[in-house]
Structure formats: structure tokens, C-alpha cells
Amino acid sequence: MIVGLPRETFPRERRVALTPAAMTTLRKLGVELLVEPEAGAAAGFGDESYTAAGAAIAADRDDVFRRADLIVQVRAAAANPAGAEADLARVRDGQTLIGTADALIRTSSLVPWVERGVTLLALELMPRITRAQSMDVLSSMATIAGYRATILAASHSTQMFPLLMTAAGTLKPAKVFVIGAGVAGLQALATAKRLGARVFACDVRPAVKEQVESLGGTFVALPGGSAEGKGGYAREVGEDVLKQQQEALRTALADCDIVICTAAVPGKPAPKLVTSQAVAGMRSGAVIVDLGAESGGNCELTKPGETIHASGVTILGPLNIASDAPRAASEMFSNNVLAFLKILIKDGRLTLNPSDECVSGTLVCQAGETKLPAVRDAIGPVKAPQQSAPSGSGEAVEGDGYSLQRD
């Protein structure tokens, strides 16, 4: 069995889905790795590091898709709209793709992939259960994002983070407020605390108060009570509650030097928690780093991918911030993928067990069928794929009702 590793083609994407260190595990699983030239170069992993580890370098991208049974990407299908059409032409019936796929965000874009007959497993849908923690790419990338957001804020701030007592006087520590105490928020808070700032955080899930305080932060409760949804994630609140939260934050942010926004609701636009009035009430020189920019932003004034200035406040809307630390992010992503492959590959063959939550929770489509209820409800019935002859010769490998071509 061959696992294919293409180079990422999403604009400014510097991560790679598998690092050379993955070869140790892949060998134990009985599979080979076929790498597109320069696939890991942007993350600091040259072709020579892959070949030294035992991987093979393909002739080109077409060669990877033609020969591989399983394709692993950071951004697959709908998560790579810039390169989706070209890759769709390369995949073959029965081929399996694993990667983040924006399955609940760009759902309609998945239709041609279903029609093509590929098996697509979307890593961002990994269930939030104990045994899946090692496969959770969202948490891994959120860890990177939270750290990077704090560093980004520090580089744009007019205020230094730590308390400094010098011959020239005493500098007060910066006041950092984190909105949303999930993985990214907690990492942002912890990083700011390590830099010497006074840290505060809010969340609609009161259960995270203990985690905030364990990191040295002060928890700020928001109006409306608990809004904890399925799997421990936050859920949407009503318009009245949202207005109460906006007002509470307007007051809380008035004397802050740094605000880091990380609030998110799975499959929904980012909640608008920081209003333009709140920004106008902040002190001049303050900085907002909005990690919700990719889904619209937690701040009303955020412009995704841009840095703007309003009322003396700098507002950053970074996109794909985990890619700004490509080596570390790739190492974490690769480890998540390997943990998943360990339950998918048995004796060198792909075996998808539909009774496994990690499989059923991430399986978007297979053999022309949408398997995920949320996707099926959104896109409706899809026509059966046209069968085409596989490239190359080989035997069909069967496993629990799923089949893939093996060279």
C-alpha cells in the first residue's frame, strides 16, 4: 500500500501533512510513502530528509495521485478551493483522501468529490472523545494559533508585557484579555502570562473557569449563563443574550492593552462579541488579534487577512496563523495523522471500521454516498459516480465493505 504526500497548494500554506519522522511508524504499518517534490520544503523538510528516512520522491504531483492508494493532505477537497479542481481531475474512483476538508463550512463544494467516488475523511470532524485526543488536529493547530496570536499582539503593541522596575521608572505590566477559553484561548493566556502580563479571560462555558485560574488568569463571567453544547464546544446564544455579552465586554475591554479573540461555534460564523462601540471605547494603542477572522471575526471591524486601525486601536485579522510556525505545526499535524492511520491500517491494508467513532465521525463520503448526516442533509442526493478504469494495474483490496486499488 502506498501513502501519497502532495505539496500543499493553498495560498501561503507552509505546512506538510507528514514529516520525515513519520516513516518509522509507516514502516511498522507496512506501507510506503510517496512524496511530491518539495512537499515539505516550506516547513523546513527538504526532499533529502524524506529519502534519508526511507520515503520515495515522486516524479511530480500527477505521479503521486496516480500511484498512491491513500492521499494525506493538510487541506483536502473543499479546504483547498484554489487547487480543488486540479486535484479532483487527478483522483480516481475508490481512492482515499485524509485531511481537513471544511466539510461543515463549504459543504456544497463537496458534491463533485462525492460524485467522483472518493473516500474522504475530514480530520476537523474528529470526535471529542478521550481516545481521539492524539488525532485531534483542531486542538493541535489551536495550540499553535494561540501562541502565535500572543506573539503577534506583542509585536504590534505599544506596551511591553512584563512589569519592569528600572532606573528610568517602573513600567506597569500589560493587561491582556482573552475572549474564549478553548485550546487557542488557553494557550494565548498562558503565553501572555509567561511574558509577564496580567491576564483575564471569558467564556460562555463556566466549566473552564478552573482552567483559566490554573494558568494564573482571572476568569470573567459573561451574562446568559452556560452555553455549552455537544462535545464540550460552545453553542450559539440568542440575540438578547449576545447583546448583553457585547455590553459586558465593552466595559471589560475599556482599559485593556491586548485583546485576543478566539471564540468559535462549530459550523457557524464567529460570534460578533466586540462591537465597533467597544473598539471606540478602548485606550489608544491597544491591539486586537482576532483568530476568528477566517469565519467572519469576533470583532465587528475585523477584515480577514488585513491589519486595520480604528479609533487608535490596531485590529489584526490573521488567516491560517498556524502556518506561521510551519515546522512545529507540521510535526503536530503529522503526529495526529499517524495516530489516525494506526487505527485505519491493519497489516498494510486500509480497513475502515464503521463502528469506530473516529471513522464514522470523520467519514464524509465513500463510493458516491454521503456518509455524514450533516453533509447529506445539506447537499441532498448525489448521482452515482461514473466508474473509470484505475491507473496502473493491481489487485483490489477489500476491508469492511470498503475497497481501494492497490498497485
Q: What's the pLDDT tens digit per position in 191-206?
A: 999 999 999 999 988 8
Domains 2-126+326-406 and 144-324 share a fold: yes
Identity (one letter) of the amino acid at 328? Answer: A
- pLDDT at residue 228, as a whole number: 64
Q: What's the order of all strands across the beta sheet hosting 218-221?
A: 218-221, 198-203, 175-179, 258-261, 287-290, 313-316, 307-310
Give the mean model confidence (pLDDT) for residues 244-265.
95
> What amino acid positions are annotated as catalytic residues?
128, 133, 136, 139, 233
Lowest mean pLDDT among 27-36, 200-209, 310-319: 200-209
Give residue limits of the domains in the chain.
2-126+326-406, 144-324
Contact 310, 317 (CB under 8 A): no
The pTM of the whole model exceeds 0.85: yes
Q: What's the mean per-residue pLDDT of the chain?
A: 91
pLDDT at 52 over 70: yes
Secondary structure class of 306 (helix, strand, coil): coil
In 3D, which of 117, 80, 116, 86 has the Cα closest to residue 100?
80
Distance CA 176, CA 198 (A): 6
CATH class of 2-126+326-406: alpha beta
Model pLDDT for residues 83-138, shown as the tens digit of each residue: 999 999 999 988 999 999 999 889 999 999 999 999 999 999 999 899 999 999 99
Which carries the bigger pLDDT value, residue 333 or residue 380?
A: 333
The confidence band for 231, taking pLDDT boundaries of 50, 70 and 90, is low
Lowest mean pLDDT among 91-95, 103-107, 247-251, 397-401: 397-401
Q: Which CATH architecture has domain 144-324?
A: 3-Layer(aba) Sandwich (3.40)
